[in-house]
Structures are given as structure tokens and as C-alpha cells.
Structure 1
Amino acid sequence: MPIYAYKCESCGHAKDVLQKVSDAPLTTCPACGADTFRKQLTAAGFQLKGTGWYVTDFRNSGSAATGAAAAGASSSAEASKPSAGDGGAASSATPCGASCACH
């Protein structure tokens, strides 16, 4: 069942109401009792889940896979490097330190 937003044109009272599509619209304001309670025009809220949608499958086509492949290549290159004899020499060779995310 959809949720409809209503607002009173007299007092400004607003309320969201869960109604069937076939139900008659409400007209009487629950706050002031005037017959100026009207439906508001609102945007539908929905979320695309699963595969088969542009948002999940094709929006960044290739960039995520390329970025993941590059990250895997750099981590394997780091693993294959021989470690320095003293622990401080490797961190002093990088301009921003060994704990940064750019190396």
C-alpha cells in the first residue's frame, strides 16, 4: 500500500497516511477539522537492488575492475620486494612515510 502525504491548507498540519489506491482521499484535517486537507505531490522513493540495473552493472564499467587489478598488482609488487636490513630505511625512502595509503 502506498503512503500519501497530506497537508491542511488552513492550519498547515501535515501527515503521512498509509492508504489503498482505491481508498477515497481524506478531506477533513485531523488537527483543525477544516475540509482543506489535500494530498501533496511527492516523489516516489524506491531502490534498485540486485543485478541487471544500470546503477549496479554499467555505470562505472571497467573503472572498478581496473582499479582493483592495479591495487592487486601493486600489493604483489610490494610483497616481492626484498626487505631492507634495518626497518627504518624503507620508511625514510618514501616521501610521506610507510604508513601512508599511497605506497
Structure 2
Amino acid sequence: MPIYAFRCSACGHAFDRLQKLSDPDPETCPACGASAVGRQVTAPAFRLAGSGWYETDFKKDGDTKRNLAGDSAPSGTASGGESAAPAPAPAPAPKAEAPAAKPAA
């Protein structure tokens, strides 16, 4: 169950509440009894760090981690298990020639 943060706009009292997604938000402030309680937007309680998502972080010492994001897939294979071929280089765009300057008369 998630923990939600609430704040009373009447008295400024802030409190947290552990509740289900389907539970209604509290209507009255536990400190002053006013019906001016609103949900606060808070930062998530977890952080994603590292170079990608791994199949599992609990591999044995001899096993290698496989990056599911495909950023650092083993050479010769793409993230879907297909052979990785280098992308063809785009053809250079034709250069537009500047009009020739007229000689001063």
C-alpha cells in the first residue's frame, strides 16, 4: 500500500497516511478538525541508477548480466537476439553552388 502525504490549508499541519488506492482521502485535519485537507505531490521513494535494466541482479559469480535495455548488448547480437549490422551512412547532401559574383563594370 502506498503512503500519501496530506496538508491542511487551514492550520498548515502536514501528515502521512498509509492507505489503499481505492480508499478515500481524509476529509478533516487530525490537528484542527477543519475540512481543508489536500493531497501533496511528493518525490518517489526509489531511485533508478546505473546503465540499464538487468534481467536479474542476483546472478551467480560466473554468470554475466544481460542488459535488457539493449544499450550494451554483447557484440554481434542486438537486444532482440538478431545479428547487429551497422546502419548504412546517409548519402551526403548535394552542395548548392553560390551564384557567381558579377565583375564590377
Q: Aligning the two structures, in what range does the TM-score lie when normalised by the shorter sequence?
A: 0.3 to 0.5
Which of the two has greater helix per residue?
1
TM-score, reference length from structure 2: 0.46
